[in-house]
Amino acid sequence: MVNPLTPVLTKRWTEPRSWTIETYERTGGYTALPKALKAHPDQLIQQCKDSGLRGRGGAGFPTGMKWGFIPQGDGKPHYLVINADEGEPGTCKDIPLMMADPHSLIEGVIITSYAIRANFAAIYVRGEVLHCIRRLNAAVKDAYAKGYLGKDILGSGFDLDVVIHAGAGAYICGEETALLDSLEGRRGQPRLKPPFPATSGLYASPTVVNNVETIASVPFIVNGGADWFREMGRDRSPGPKIYSLSGHVTNPGQYEAPMGTTLRQLLDMAGGMKDGIPLKFWTPGGSSTPLFTAEHLDVPLDFEGAAEAGSMLGTTALQIFNETVSVPWAVMKWTEFYKHESCGKCTPCREGTYWLVQILQRMVAGNGTASDIDTLLDVCDNILGRSFCALGDGAVSPITSGIKYFKDEFLALCDQNSKVLAGANA
Amino acid sequence: MTQAAENTTFDQSTVDRAQAIIARYPQSRSALLPMLHLVQSVEGYVSQDGIRFCAGQLDLSEAEVSAVATFYTMYKRRPCGEHLVSVCTNTLCAALGGDDIYSTLKSHLGVGHEETAGEPGTPGSITLEHAECLAACDLGPVLQVNYEFYDNQTPDKALELVKALQNGEKPAPTRGAPLTDFKQAELQLAGFFEGRDADLDGPSAAPETLRGAQIAKDRGWDAPNMPANAEFPALPEKK
């Protein structure tokens, strides 16, 4: 039986000076790299496919399959880009990982680059996390000094350069094609897909873009094997996952548990709801994933479980709100965020989020009208699936799910004529 | 390059740094974002001179650089204070008190979003902003000074911190390096850490960060044991 918590990525965090190369090597770090470099790159891709590892940045795309999409023998340079632009509201797993154990990411980067035949990798970190950037830079420097980076790594003939790239404050750059544009020194605006980054990514060359937690898992998979990884979690969503509990919970923090763990189990380990005030609503994976309520305490939190219950696993950022919080207010705050972060490239998202904020602010100020809920849902309908990238889809999630579960609260903000809102039955 | 070196704002060492940034990348334009951080480390914001400097280094037009500089929140178009104080007012932090913290600081400093109390750049001057999610939700409400984290804040704690900053003190962050100023932080964001190795030892492991790992340790919970010699799969046949 697998334990309720399975510290793999977080295990080293409790070591003194966990971020140093000395600690990393003393606790088994850089042992996967020499093994990987002796294998054929295609064996590493196959192992990653066999492990069932899925992207930890929100979408859950199978990682090995993504690596396999890179055309080989095409004569073009290949690139690995790490998406460390963590900014989805509620999400706070990659930042502590990079602060506490930057070398696990670096070792994962080297192995992945070898697998996809990339000789240049960039770690795109959001600019607001200076301490992470500092530790990552030091880790890269130390890895060069030890011969883990640079020319002819460990005598394998494989060369790799890694750069730590600080972003400059733009949530949209967490979208992989916006991130690539930003890394190319442009405004961070998403690209039309196809072509996908696998064929036309950084500098129009084949590129893998992966999340921090995903790539930090790679050295463990190389050392433990695919079957070991699959001992944790569920069949289609295997492995351990860092669940980030925040908000009205007694002991918020990072809990690394097998995929498919429920909020009830996590809350139990986290000391329950703060001050015993009951749970009202929560996000399973950041504000872009539709809200859950107390009815969803036993939903297995993996990609399938969250989807079957009408939401998404996202980044396993569990923002927990008790009965004292107004849903329309929370939804308004999130909508203000999406409006601020909309890059402006496509009309539905740029204009839609602007109008959504206007309506919600008016409602929360007590000046709602009978038609507001209809209008909100209508605007949402014109954003969802009609925007350039997933930011627009994410922006409507709190609104539509908030109205779905807490319509009475929205109605209470509207005027006396609220009975005419027959159409607003989302 | 020589042209930029003649510019009085940006001395030769800044030009050298700009060139060092360019050398990190396969293509020079990728250097633009870090170079704008470098400009802020000199000027305390991005001025039209700064735009011109980047354009000159990268052989871009000023319009191309301006388009980028105006897109990103962290590039300030007006001179910043000695310190930049960023208060998270996204939903979760706000529900835990972030909105109160922001309004307390606003009224104490007498400024609004992206405005500076005191003469920009002089000791004790402070630029205030409300920030979007700072990825420290388990430690909320949070604020940052020059991008170092001050966790689990209250209006009173934040007010005390800001008053100390105004008095020229530099209270240590909860997570991050000893406080310097906005310009030094921007230099590090541009990738220059010379002589600041001790910054690495600034704390990072808050109790919240370690919560799960610590519970697992205390209760003897671990991930399944790895096999002694995990084999790689056979080399897939070429299709």
pLDDT band at A248 (very low <50, low <70, confident <90, very high): very high
Determine, for residues A96 and B204 on separate chains, whether the beta-carbon distance falls below 8 Å.
yes
Contact B20, B31 (CB under 8 A): no
Residue A419, in any domain of the structure: no
C-alpha–C-alpha distance, residues A339 and A10, integer Å: 34
Residue A157, in any domain of the structure: yes
Same domain assignment for residues A306 and A346 = no
State which of A179, A196, A230 marks the end of a domain: A230
Same domain assignment for residues A68 and A111 = yes
Contacts of B204 in chain A (CB under 8 A): 19, 96, 99-100, 131, 135
Contact A225, B226 (CB under 8 A): yes
pLDDT of residue B149: 98
Task: For residue B8, give the 3-state DSSP assignment.
Answer: coil
Task: For residue B84, give the 3-state DSSP assignment.
Answer: strand
Q: What are phi and psi of A420, to 5 degrees?
A: -75, 0
Mean pLDDT over each residue of chain A, to the nearest integer:
96
Same domain assignment for residues A206 and A248 = no
pLDDT band at A415 (very low <50, low <70, confident <90, very high): low
Strand-by-strand arrangement of the A292-293 sheet: A253-258, A240-247, A317-322, A279-283, A292-293
Same domain assignment for residues A131 and A76 = yes
Q: What share of chain A has pLDDT > 90, as a percent? A: 96
Residue A5, in any domain of the structure: no
Residues in CB range of A26: below 8 A, 6 or more apart: none
Residue A7, in any domain of the structure: no
Same domain assignment for residues A274 and A286 = yes
How many domains does the structure of chain A reveal? 3
Contact B190, B37 (CB under 8 A): yes
| ipTM of the predicted assembly exceeds 0.90 | yes
Q: Across-strand partners of A293?
A: A281
User: pLDDT tens for residues A334-377?
Assistant: 999 999 999 999 999 999 999 999 999 999 998 999 899 999 99
Stretch 76-95 of chain B: residues touching chain A, C-beta under 8 Å: 86, 89-92, 94-95
| CATH number of the domain bearing residue A268 | 3.10.20.600
Q: Is the dihedral angle over the CA atoms A15, A21, A24, A25 positive or is it negative?
A: negative
Length of chain A: 426
State which of A322, A351, A367 marks the end of a domain: A322
Please report the DSSP string for A109-131 in residue order. Answer: HHHHHHHHT-SEEEEEE-TT-HH
Angle at A135 between CA A134 and CA A140, to 5 degrees: 100
Stretch 114-143 of chain B: residues touching chain A, C-beta under 8 Å: 131-140
Same domain assignment for residues A245 and A115 = no
Residue A97, in any domain of the structure: yes
Structure token digits, residue A324:
């004292």
Residue A140, in any domain of the structure: yes
Pairing of strands B83-88, B115-117: unpaired
| CATH number of the domain bearing residue A407 | 1.20.1440.230
Closest CA to B192 of B47, B35, B70: B35
State which of A184, A203, A230 marks the end of a domain: A230
Determine, for residues B222 and A168 on separate chains, whether the beta-carbon distance falls below 8 Å.
no
Residues in CB range of A382: below 8 A, 6 or more apart: A348, A352
Q: Across-strand partners of A258?
A: A240
Determine, for residues B227 and A2 on separate chains, whether the beta-carbon distance falls below 8 Å.
no
Determine, for residues A134 and B200 on separate chains, whether the beta-carbon distance falls below 8 Å.
yes
Residue A176, in any domain of the structure: yes
Q: Across residues A239-268, what is the average pLDDT?
A: 98
Q: Which residue of A has its CA nearest to B174?
A: A131
Residue A424, in any domain of the structure: no
pLDDT band at A104 (very low <50, low <70, confident <90, very high): very high
pLDDT of residue A122: 98
B34 shares contact with chain A (CB less than 8 Å): yes
pLDDT of residue A425: 37
Chain B: give the shortest CA distance to residue A109, in Å: 17
Chain B: give the shortest CA distance to residue A420, in Å: 31
Please report the DSSP string for B22-80 in residue order. Answer: HTTSSSGGGGHHHHHHHHHHHHSS--HHHHHHHHHHHT--HHHHHHHHTT-TTS-SS--
Same domain assignment for residues A85 and A158 = yes
Q: Across residues A116-141, what is the average pLDDT?
A: 98
pLDDT of residue A421: 40
Q: Across residues A102-123, what is the average pLDDT?
A: 98
Contacts of B68 in chain A (CB under 8 A): 185-187
Enclosing domain of residue A128: 21-230
> Is the pLDDT at A420 greater than 50, yes or no?
no
To the question of pTM greater than 0.90 for the whole model, the response is: yes
| CATH number of the domain bearing residue A137 | 3.40.50.11540
Task: For residue A9, give the 3-state DSSP assignment.
Answer: coil
Q: What are phi and psi of A207, to 5 degrees?
A: -140, 135
Residues in CB range of A345: below 8 A, 6 or more apart: A189, A190, A388
Same domain assignment for residues A90 and A222 = yes
Same domain assignment for residues A188 and A63 = yes
Structure token digits, residue B8:
């009085």
B207 shares contact with chain A (CB less than 8 Å): yes
Q: Which residue of B has its CA nearest to A224?
A: B226
Determine, for residues A253 and B211 on separate chains, whether the beta-carbon distance falls below 8 Å.
yes
Contacts of A340 in chain B (CB under 8 A): 132
Same domain assignment for residues A309 and A342 = no
Q: How many H helices and E strands in chain B?
A: 10, 5
Closest CA to A257 of A4, A9, A10, A13: A4
pLDDT of residue B236: 87
Contacts of A322 in chain B (CB under 8 A): none
Same domain assignment for residues A159 and A218 = yes
Same domain assignment for residues A111 and A205 = yes
A253 shares contact with chain B (CB less than 8 Å): yes
Where residue A81 falls (left for φ over 0; alpha for ψ -120 to 50; beta otherwise) is beta
Closest CA to A304 of A235, A356, A244, A242: A235
Please report the DSSP string for A300-364 in residue order. Answer: --SHHHHHHTTS--TT-EEEEEETTS-HHHHHHHHHHHHHHH--SSSHHHHHHHHHHHHHHHHII
pLDDT of residue B8: 64
Q: Across residues A101-113, what is the average pLDDT?
A: 98
- What stretches in chain B show pLDDT beneath 70? 1-8, 239
Stretch 185-204 of chain B: residues touching chain A, C-beta under 8 Å: 185, 188-191, 193, 197, 199-202, 204
Q: What are phi and psi of B116, to 5 degrees?
A: -115, 130
